[in-house]
Amino acid sequence: MWISKNDFNGLKDQFNNLSEKIDEHRETIFELQRIIEHYIPGKITYVTSKKVEAKTYGGGTVIIDPFTCFYQDGKEYQINGLYLHDLVAIETKGCNEKVLYIKESYKPENETQYTTEEYVVDLQNHTFIRTK
């Protein structure tokens, strides 16, 4: 089958446009997938990630800092720099459910005693502070 150069270039442009549109929505699709996996209606859930080194397609490495994603009201809130070690107590106080009070106890590697840390997390501003 024979196709003209103009028809081929038109098809190529359409393909490139579709590829760009898919790339624009890829992160949204991944976010929706994570929400479906981790969100439980009526509860506050989270997934946390340590600092890791990841390989790139070019053979290099990139360091990904720790972060925690909270799931509340069908939305995902990513808090960069916050790593939660073990199952933690999460509370909200008053009428502002977008401010979380977190308390965790964990045993650091090569330690004999547990460490307790407390945080206040502001989901709307994607920030946190350590209070203890």
| pLDDT one-digit tens code per residue, 19-71 | 898 888 888 888 899 999 999 999 999 999 887 777 777 777 777 788 999 99
Q: Is the pLDDT of residue 119 over 80?
A: yes
Q: Is the pLDDT of residue 72 over 90?
A: yes
The DSSP secondary-structure symbol of 43 reads S
The residue-averaged pLDDT of 105-112 equals 86
**CA distance to 8, 36, 44, per residue, from 22 (Å):** 21, 20, 31
Whole-structure pTM value: 0.71
DSSP, residue by residue, 76-106: EEEEET----S--EEE--TT-TTEEEEEEEE
Integer Cα distance of 64 and 48 in angstroms: 12
Integer Cα distance of 44 and 41 in angstroms: 8
Which pLDDT value is given to residue 1? Answer: 60
Which pLDDT value is given to residue 58? Answer: 73
Which pLDDT value is given to residue 6? Answer: 84
